[in-house]
Structures are given as C-alpha cells and as structure tokens.
Structure 1
Amino acid sequence: MSFYTWKIERIKRYSVIIILALFCAFMMWIGQRSQLPVFSNDGEAKALSKGNGDQPFIALTFNISWGNEKVHDILEKLKTHQAKATFFLSGNWAERHPDIVEDIHEGKHEIAMMGYEYESYSKMEPEQIRKDIQKAKEAFEKLGFEDINYLRPPHGHLNQEVLSAIEKEGLETVQWSLNPRDWENPGTNAIINQVMENSSKGDIILLHASDSIKQTAKALEVIIPGLKQKDLEFVTITELVNGGQAKNKEE
C-alpha cells in the first residue's frame, strides 16, 4: 500500500514539474511574441510610431537633410540638459558633413537614416527604394556606421509597399506619435505647448535640425526640463524598443 502511495506522490511531483516547465515555456513564448507587433502586424511590416506606454521613456528624434548651422545649437542644448536623442540623417547629407555626424555620435546619440536622396519613397518603385537604401547604407558604412537599424521614410511618406521594401533591406521603419511641426517655425511657445500638453510615456517626438528651423533649439530649453519634471526619461529609439535596456557600445 505504501508503495502505491509513494508512486502516486511521485507522479504528482513530476506532474507539477512538467506543468511549471510548460508554463515557463509558454510565458517565454508570450514574451517573444509581444516584441513582434512593434514592427509587424499579422506578418505584415509596420512602422513604429510609439513605444510602450507603461514605461516612463520618451524619444526625441531629429531629422536632418540639409544645412549645417542649426544642428550644433541642438547638440549643445541636448548636452547641457543631459538628454540623448536619435538623429535621422539622409545619406547625401551625412556624406557632405562627416564631422557633424561624428559630433552627433560622440554626443552619445543614435544615428539612423532617411535614405540617401531624401526623395519620397511612395513615388518610387520597390527597386528604386532598394537602390536608394543601398546607397545610403554604403554612405554610412564609409563613415564607420555599419550597424544602423532604423529608417524614417523621406517626408514621412509611407504605404505598405514602402514598408515591405524597407523591411527587405533589413531595416525597421520609424515614424512618430507627436509632431509639433517645428519646421513651420510656428513660434517657440507654440512648439513648447504642443510638446508639453500632448506628450506622454512612449512618445516619439518629431523635431528637425536642418537649417530651416529657427525656434527648435530655444524650445528645447523648456521642453527637456519640462519633460523631466513629468518623470520622463530620454532614450534612443533602440532603448525605447528594448525597454530602455540597450546602451551605446561606448557606455
């Protein structure tokens, strides 16, 4: 009788172990699946426009396609207020301003791309998009940036064909969730108010550092401290995607 009791207890013990193992495997699977929707939707490529709203992270992003006068003001404000950002650069611009690209990198900011010529992808055939991305990759590789992961379509123009073409080149598409339209120069206070009134956890903020912008650097003097007061932490796109865990190799 005791033998059968021992056997039953042993079966129960092993059953509990198996159930726990299956549960852990299931939770790991769920965790992996939860990462997929960031850049995919039922197998279709999609753009990242916002991070996890449950985490206190926010991403400043700056587009640059021309000019070399305003970007240094932006970098100085970021340095002063100890905020990191992601810069989306056209390959054509990066080739012509390698010293500024290096300044951005040395500031611990992330380098991403906007293709090479900064021409709308929605007006191109997939092969034209591929060639533009390849040309951009070559430009950044010559500058020492071989591991760029993110691309913002020129002018933000996007459709499913563009998304698929970008994905086929091994890149992830990044858009934004908050656009204060600083390139229109609506006034420093207007830029500040748009960001401060509408920002929340996980936001990707679209700003610019090309020479057309005249008020963005000054707006950052208020925006960065203001967002910190809202208990938000500035992260790169990579860190936003990975929950703030990824760090630059130099760190």
Structure 2
Amino acid sequence: MALRIGRRRAAGRFRTAIGALVVALTAGAVVAVPVAEADAAGSKVVYLTFDDGPSTAYTPKVLNVLARYGVQATFFEVGQEVSAHPSVTSQVARQGHSVQNHSWSHPDLSRLSASAVTSQVTRTDKAIRAQTGRTPSCLRPPYGSLNSTVRSRAAALGKQVVLWSVDPQDWARPGTGAIESRVLRNVRPGSVILMHDGGGNRGQTVDALPTIISTLKARGYTFGVLCR
C-alpha cells in the first residue's frame, strides 16, 4: 500500500518536533500549547483520532468499539482509500464521527510543490465530500510534516492543520499492552491521541481500544470530536 512507503523513515524524523503540537487555531497555522491547556473550559476532554483509513478490515472494528462505549472520534482519511472503499467512509460519517483530510496518497507534503500539495488536498476533499456531504475543514499532513508551503496551501484552502500530542506508535505494532500503556501514561486533559485504522495490520489498535476508553472514562475523561 502506497501510504506505508517511508512511514518508519519519516515517523522518527518528525515525532520529536510535534510532541507538544496539538491543534491549529487558525487556518494553516499550528500552535504549540501545553496539553493541559488545550481545553479552554478546563474539563477533562480528550480526542481520539485515527489515521490512514478507511480500511475494510479494521475501520468497521474500530467503529464497533466506539459504538459500544458511546464514543465519537475524528478520522483523518487518505483519499485513495476513500475512493477504494467509499462505503466505509459513509459508515464512519453515518455513525456521527468527523471525517477529515489526510492527503490523497500519504506523501511527505513538505517535499512537494505548492500545486502538488493543492492536488493532494483537493482530490481528497472531493472524495470525502462525495461520501459524507461535507468538505473537510481540517488537514493532518502525513508524518506531521510541515513547511511554509504546506502551511500556506492549507490556509489558502481554508484548512486547519491538526497534529497530535500522544503517539503510542501503534503503526509499529508494539503490542496491545504497549499501546494501552503509552496512551494511558501520557494522556492529559486536552490530549489529541494518534492511532491508526488503516495502512496495515491494525489488530493491536482495535484490541487496545476497549481498555484505553474504559480506563479514561473511569478517570473522569470524556471524548471530544475535532473539526466539525
């Protein structure tokens, strides 16, 4: 699958730089804020996000877990996967989740020309809109890779740039227990949790979700949705 290419190489390159980056507050901008301050109301809200889908194998399983616990999430979807599995994207939207833009083919956008970045975003917008009736308002650049071109193109297209603050590296399949502990150890009010429902075998992610959700609920957390 094309979106797997370069994942391990690029992930390490950007992970340190984005550790404190949570959510863009204006189109095209990314603001570094302390995670505990990300929720202005001061309530214990966290945000589950899923990248690289939709996947016929794993997205429905993720949706089943979320439905079981009454939790909504934000899905950053790859356009070519939306095109390949349109009914899964429709299912995500029907169940009340937010469907947002994660580029067309999962390249490092910072290595592309402005016109190529625009194409990656607009093609994905079109595919998602055809299945959900909504144009995504947010962009999550693959690998968290940003430069002035990506920022300016995002702003021109009216997109907020959304990264994350908790990364359990579930894409590397470190084990269900490792995914659970990495999330639960690092989560704070306002945390944006990065997980994956596509791009490879996501069985460990699916298996980790019930413990993550039930434990956070027991700690008094609620779950918010980004980019409505």
TM-score tier after normalising by the smaller chain length = 0.7 to 0.9
Give the number of the structure whose alpha-carbon radius of gyration is greater.
Answer: 1
Aligned to 1:52: 39
- Deviation readout 1:26-52 (Å, 9 max, x if unpaired): xxxxxxxxxxx9525xx9822578532
| Equivalent residue runs for 1:112-191 within 5 Å | 112-191=100-179
Choose the corresponding residue for 1:39, options 25, 28, 37.
25
Q: Please, which of 195, 198, 208 is the counterpart of residue 186 of structure 2?
A: 198
Trace 1:214-229 onto structure 2 (pairs within 5 A).
Answer: 214-229=203-218
1:134 to partner: Cα distance: 1.6
Amino acid at match of 2:39: N
Give CA-to-partner distance per residue, 1:153-200, whole Å, 9 cap, x none: 023212232112111111110000000000111111111111111101
C-alpha distance in structure 1 between counterparts of 2:225 and 2:60, whole Å: 19
Letter in 2 for 1:186: P
Partner of 1:195: helix, strand, or coil? helix
Within 1, Cα distance between the matches of 2:61 and 2:136? 24
Q: Give TM-score scaled by structure 1 length.
A: 0.74
Q: Is the 8 A contact 1:47 1:175 kept in 2?
A: no
Q: For 1:23-34, what aligned pairs fall within 5 Å after superposition?
A: none
Query: Does structure 1 residue 109 correspond to structure 2 residue 93?
Result: no
Higher helix share: 1
Q: How many residues align?
A: 201
RMSD value over aligned CA atoms? 2.2
Greater RCO (CA < 8 Å, at least 6 residues apart): 2
Report the Cα offset of residue 105 of structure 1. 1.1
Q: State TM-score, norm by structure 2.
A: 0.81
Of 44-53 and 137-146, deviating more is 44-53
Question: Unaligned 5+ residue runs, structure 2?
Answer: 1-22
3-state SS of the aligned residue for 1:237? coil
Task: Extract unaligned runs of 5+ from structure 1.
Answer: 1-36, 240-251
**Percent of pairs with identical residues:** 26
Q: Which residue of 1 aligns with 2:11?
A: none
Q: Is contact 2:139-2:159 (8 Å) kept? A: yes
> Contact 1:47–1:172 (CA<8 Å) still a contact in 2?
no
Q: Provide the C-alpha distance between the structure 2 equivalents of 1:131 and 1:207, rounded to a whole number of angstroms.
A: 25
Moved more, 135-144 or 103-112: 135-144
